[in-house]
Amino acid sequence: FSVIKPWFFPDEPEPPDPQSNAESTPGKSALERKDYGIQLFESGRAADGLLELKEVVKDQPENVELRRTYASLLRRAKQPDRAIYQYRVVLRFQPRDSMARMGLAHAFADKDERQKAVELCEEIMAEQAGAELVAQATELHAKLRSVPG
């Protein structure tokens, strides 16, 4: 694992999120609330699902799996700044988390911050982080290298 780059970690507050009409589901377990948020997101109520997950993350700020899920859905919702923030928080807790670094690489690519994405892909490929992640990193790396600019 190479030296952690300064841009890995958030040095600003989390970017604002869009408004939502969802009501949180207090009294349920974090897992139930996470699953409910994902269900809302997948059923076309992305803003409501993201709001639910945001509330669960607030309740369990050190749960890296939950944050990784939240970041992934933020990225799918075309909110790369918020996804980057969440992936960076995961990496603050677990700097060697290859899934978070791969998600961060994708989010940087979404923002056209190719150099950061390329560096992350190269690290994942070099450390052989697992066949699926290495394949994803190799594919993204090739795609980013083939685009001029």
Q: Is the dihedral of CA 108, 114, 120, 125 positive or negative?
A: positive
81 vs 28 pLDDT, higher one: 81
- Measuring CA to CA, which residue among 73, 84, 77 is closest to residue 108? 84
pLDDT digits (tens, 9 = 90+) for 31-77: 899 999 999 999 999 999 999 999 999 999 999 999 999 999 999 99
How far lies 86's CA from each of 1, 10, 61, 147, in Å?
A: 21, 9, 10, 27
Buried b / exposed e along 29-40 (16+ C-beta atoms within 10 A):
eeeebbebbbeb
Q: Where are the alpha helices (DSSP H) in 10-113?
A: 30-42, 46-59, 64-76, 80-93, 98-110
Instruction: Report how far Cα 107 is from the mean position of its chain's Cα atoms.
Output: 7
Q: What is the mean pLDDT of residues 88-95?
A: 94
Q: What is the mean pLDDT of residues 11-26?
A: 53
pLDDT digits (tens, 9 = 90+) for 101-148: 999 999 999 999 999 999 999 999 998 778 888 998 999 999 998 877
pTM, rounded to two decimals: 0.79
